[in-house]
């Protein structure tokens, strides 16, 4: 556990968590219709951190109504793309001015190191909004030469426009609370949609601070509504709501399937960013030091609570022991502790439920014959800590190799040659990301082409950028976040054809 003196909470953060937090509907901060609240916990201690309004069907109904009115008749519907872009940019500036508050809230609520939230979560969210602000004025259609073979001699002028898909429901997870809100809101707002956002019940605080800044930036009422609450209540009500044109979800594959079922009733548009079990492949000719550090970062960043975590480490057999020992040494050296401590490199898992889930996977792995080179246990104390763990003696059939653990647990397995590895790496229902470590550029490109994954990192891992699309093959999802691909999720194409 980290022992360094903890920095003080900013007074603004202290008062933010002390006050009962309300929801944002139609530009106003309101209690839940039921008047219920739920508790949010500090995962480093298990203590109650804040009380938040517990939204349900009626709150979702009010939020959807407000978003519909804002989309159809409000000032947002008449705003120029340039003005939309300016508002999004202004929001980014405001987040930047409140960077430390966001970083502290994120660390308190999610457990992640404050030092990481400051340099990763918050700056990435700011950058995403700025990137999407630029797109607001560049969502263009095409002019299309048409031939119409059954109308010889007739002449037509045809073009397409990209129109906002409408009112969007967005459900986000707890692993990067602010950043996931940014990934969802940025492209929706750039495209001209209106939104009902439901943050995860474990980590609703940064989205609520973001809501304050959305109001301060001057977004018209009802453009962004934020309903806090549980998945089975507020989340399910949003996914089923007939007044929503599209639902965007990030979370587990299991819940993703429920979202699809709910959306199927009225054929809402759906995009999903789901789980992963990403292979990270180290070839014998890789630079060992870089690959070892990279493999450790691939799994241990954000405590393994990343959908793209490099959780299956495949190492060419000649260097297997060196790489596994190196990653285990890196794991042992990770300073685990409270997110606020300046020397903490890994905080607690987000919740007791998540701790139990990860511990359950470790038990299952050991029962099936896996061995821990390091870690393998819960941490001590009342927080939701687990030791960074490297498992060996694993095989493709084991639960720990097939299922997403979403914790700091990597399974390491040797492979024989470049020819064998692609089918092994692809042997999962997921296809979110993959890593390749080699000094042979041709081998890297060959392997990248063979991997069924939405992102392939070569001699790096966990490199994210607002301009780089991110999303999954297979059961890792539908559609892409970030980059200009993300705008596809929030626009409809209209073809217009004129006889001339």
Number of C-beta neighbours around residue 333 at 10 A:
10
Nearer Cβ to ligand ADP (34/137): 34
CB 197 within 8 A of CB 172: yes
Closer residue to ligand ADP in complex, CB, 109/201:
201
- 258 is a site residue for ligand ADP (CB under 6 A): yes
What is the DSSP annotation of 373-400? EE--SBPSSSS--B--EEEES--TTSHH
Residue (326 or 477) nearer to ligand ADP, CB = 477
Q: Does 13 bind ligand ADP (CB under 6 A)?
A: no
Catalytic residue among 273, 338, 387, 481: 273
Is 359 an interacting residue with respect to ligand ADP (CB under 6 A)? Answer: no
Element (H, E) at 352: helix 352-367
**Residues 23-62 contacting ligand ADP, CB under 6 A:** none
Give the range of 30-38, 232-240, 370-378, 380-388 binding ligand ADP by CB under 6 A: 232-240
Q: How far is the CB of 356 from ligand ADP (least distance, A)?
A: 12
Give the three-class secondary structure for 197: strand
235 binds ligand ADP (CB under 6 A): yes
Phi/psi for 276 (5° steps) reads -155, 165
Q: Which of residues 157-216 bind ligand ADP (CB under 6 A)?
A: 171-173, 198, 200-201
Nearer to ligand ADP (CB atom), residue 50 or residue 324: 50
Q: Hey, CA dihedral for 228, 234, 236, 239, is it positive or negative?
A: negative
Taking CB under 6 A as the binding criterion, the range among 151-159, 254-262, 318-326, 428-436 that sits at the site for ligand ADP is: 254-262
Give yes or no for residue 251 binding ligand ADP (CB under 6 A).
yes
State the Cα torsion 101-102-107-113 to the nearest 10°. Answer: -90
- Confirm or reject binding of residue 370 to ligand ADP (CB under 6 A): no
Alpha-carbon gap, residue 292 to 326, rounded angstroms = 6
Residues 6 or more apart whose CB falls under 8 angstroms from that of 297 comprise 461, 462
Strands 433-437 and 455-458, sheet pairing = parallel
Q: Using the minimum distance from each CB to ligand ADP, give the nearer residue, 224 or 425.
A: 224
- Decide: 179 and 112 in contact? Cβ < 8 Å: no
Q: How far apart are CA 414 and CA 434, in angstroms?
A: 16
Parallel, antiparallel or unpaired: strands 269-273 and 477-478: antiparallel
Quick check: 239 binds ligand ADP (CB under 6 A)?
Answer: yes
Q: Which of 19, 39, 216, 232 binds ligand ADP (CB under 6 A)?
A: 232
Judged by CB under 6 A, which stretch of 109-117, 235-243, 419-427, 434-442 contacts ligand ADP? 235-243
Alpha carbon distance 347, 353 (integer Å)? 16
Catalytic residue status for 307: yes
Q: Tokens representing 249? A: 């979800």
When asked if residue 304 is in the footprint of ligand ADP (CB under 6 A), the reply is no
Residue 263 beta carbon to ligand ADP: minimum distance, rounded to whole angstroms: 10
Minimum distance of ligand ADP from residue 38's CB (angstroms) = 11
Among 157, 138, 161, which Cα is nearest to 148's? 157
User: Which range, of 65-73, 228-236, 333-341, 367-375, touches ligand ADP by CB under 6 A?
Assistant: 228-236
Q: Does 252 bind ligand ADP (CB under 6 A)?
A: yes
Closest approach, Cβ 253 to ligand ADP, in A, equals 8
Residues contacting 138, CB < 8 A, separation 6+: none
Compute the least distance from the CB of residue 411 to ligand ADP, in Å. 20
Structure tokens at 273: 């960013």
Cβ proximity to ligand ADP, 201 vs 316, nearer residue: 201
Provide the minimum distance between the beta carbon of 256 and ligand ADP in the complex, in angstroms, as a whole number.
Answer: 7
Residue 19 near residue 205 (C-beta atoms within 8 A) = no
Lookup: tokens for 311: 């959780």
Residue ranges of alpha helices (H) inside 218-275 are: 236-240, 253-264
Size of the site for ligand ADP (CB under 6 A): 17
- Catalytic annotation, residues: 273, 307
Interface with ligand ADP by CB under 6 A: which residues?
171-173, 198, 200-201, 230-232, 235-236, 239, 251-252, 255, 258-259
């Amino acid at each position: 556990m980290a022992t360094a003196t903890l920095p003080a909470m900013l007074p603004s953060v202290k008062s933010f968590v002390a006050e009962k937090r309300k929801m944002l509907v139609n530009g106003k901060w309101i209690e839940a219709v039921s008047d219920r609240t739920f508790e949010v916990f500090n995962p480093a201690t298990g203590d109650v951190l804040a009380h938040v309004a517990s939204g349900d069907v009626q709150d979702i109904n009010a939020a959807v109504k407000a978003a519909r009115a804002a989309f159809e008749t409000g000032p947002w519907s008449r705003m120029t793309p340039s003005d939309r872009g300016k508002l999004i940019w202004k929001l980014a500036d405001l987040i930047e001015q409140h960077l430390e508050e966001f970083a502290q809230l994120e660390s308190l609520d999610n457990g992640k190191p404050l030092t990481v939230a400051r340099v990763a979560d918050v700056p990435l969210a700011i950058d995403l909004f700025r990137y999407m602000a630029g797109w607001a004025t560049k969502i263009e259609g095409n002019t299309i030469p048409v031939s119409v073979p059954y109308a010889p001699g007739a002449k037509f002028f045809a073009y397409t426009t990209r129109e906002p898909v409408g009112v969007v429901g967005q459900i986000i997870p707890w692993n990067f609370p602010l950043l996931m809100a940014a990934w969802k809101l940025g492209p929706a707002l750039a495209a001209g949609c209106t939104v009902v956002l439901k943050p995860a019940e474990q980590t609703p605080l940064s989205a609520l601070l973001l809501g304050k800044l959305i109001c301060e930036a001057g977004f018209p009422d009802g453009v962004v509504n934020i309903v806090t609450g549980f998945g089975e209540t507020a989340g399910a009500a949003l996914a089923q709501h007939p007044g929503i044109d599209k639902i965007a979800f990030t979370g587990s594959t299991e819940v993703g399937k429920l979202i699809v079922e709910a959306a199927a009733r009225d054929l809402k548009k759906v995009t999903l960013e789901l789980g992963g079990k990403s292979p990270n492949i180290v070839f014998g000719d890789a630079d060992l030091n870089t690959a070892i550090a990279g493999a450790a970062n691939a799994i241990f960043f954000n405590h393994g609570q990343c959908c793209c975590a490099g959780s299956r480490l495949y190492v060419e057999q000649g260097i297997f022991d060196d790489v596994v020992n190196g990653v285990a040494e890196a794991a042992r050296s990770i300073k685990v502790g409270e997110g606020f401590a300046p020397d903490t490199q890994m905080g607690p898992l987000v919740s007791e439920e998540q701790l139990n889930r990860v511990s359950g996977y470790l038990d299952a792995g050991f029962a099936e014959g896996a061995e821990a080179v390091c870690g393998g246990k819960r941490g001590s104390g009342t927080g939701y800590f687990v030791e960074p763990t490297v498992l060996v003696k694993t095989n493709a059939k084991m639960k720990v190799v097939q299922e997403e653990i979403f914790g700091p647990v990597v399974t390491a397995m040797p492979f024989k040659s470049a020819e064998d590895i692609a089918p092994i790496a692809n042997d999962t229902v997921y296809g979110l990301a993959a890593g390749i470590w080699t000094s042979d550029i041709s081998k890297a490109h060959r392997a990248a082409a063979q991997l069924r994954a939405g992102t392939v990192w070569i001699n790096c891992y966990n490199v994210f950028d607002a301009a780089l699309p991110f999303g999954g093959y297979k059961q890792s999802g539908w559609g892409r976040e970030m980059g200009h691909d993300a705008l596809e999720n929030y626009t409809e194409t209209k073809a217009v054809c004129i006889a001339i």
